[in-house]
Amino acid sequence: MHRPPLPPPQSWRRLIALALEEDIGPGDLTTNAVVPEGAVGEAVVEAREPLVVCGGEVAAAVIRSLDSDTRIEQPREDGSSATHGDALLEVRGNLRGLLVAERTALNVLQRMCGVATHTRAYVDAVADTGARIVDTRKTLPGWRVLDKYAAAVGGAINHRMGLFDGVLIKDNHVALAGGVAAAVKAALAAAPRGIRVQVEVESEADAVAACDAGADFLLLDNCTPDELRAIVANVGDRALLEASGGITLENVRAVAKSGVQRISIGALTHSAPAVDISMEVRARGAATT
């Protein structure tokens, strides 16, 4: 599976700084009391359950922000699979720094691996149907670029990053515009060059009206597989069709087999469970500088 490029550090560095600031405050009372200031040693960050690896470089940046001289190896690249006991990061550096960074680094890995793992389950569920899984803007505030990166690592297509890089006419836009046709025509007239217009519809009649108004990209919201099949039969040669709403691992394959090309799922990012990852210090590697 193709691995997407990690977003540039400037797009997530502030998030890491905020996370460390809220955790450390004026200092780690426990580590400063228990661990000698110059102690150097090794640690391994490992999976405690099967997962899709994601976020190693971000977690490494967390650790290095406490000690830039820390040596970090990443045995498994993002997008690969890991199982219980597999090392995700192998670290050697100042032990105070490692312990201070531990929780934030693990929080990053647990979320990013969790999103990638959850997404991969949906991608695997629709294998060989021709449908693609798509993420949404239902991300944790501040985490947009990393959540979407993790979804892409899991095999999803990234939809628009925000309101600024795509046009999606939702039900409230339709209501305020006076109907599907009016909303589509207004959006097509105003959309910047190169920006495709997508419109949300909830019925076969609205799908036809949207296509008649010039839409070629429909979001089919909360439709049953039977309703999706009817829309595919009626306008499938006129528009790219994306199903959304109420999608679960139990029904996603039935939705995919309706003939839609895309299935967007907010749960990829708003409901992905954190995976179990731990960091263990290898005391035998400890030394004092």
Could you list the active site residues? 103, 138, 170, 200, 221
Closest Cα partner for 255 from 247, 134, 157, 123? 247
CA 72 – CA 279 distance, rounded (Å): 13
CA 22 – CA 132 distance, rounded (Å): 38
Q: Which residue has the tokens 């993790």?
A: 150
What's the Rg (C-alpha) of the chain? 23
Closest Cα partner for 59 from 116, 119, 15? 15
Q: Residue 10: exposed, middle, or buried by beta-carbon count in 10 A (0-12, 13-18, 19+)?
A: exposed
Q: Cβ distance 271 to 121 under 8 Å? A: no
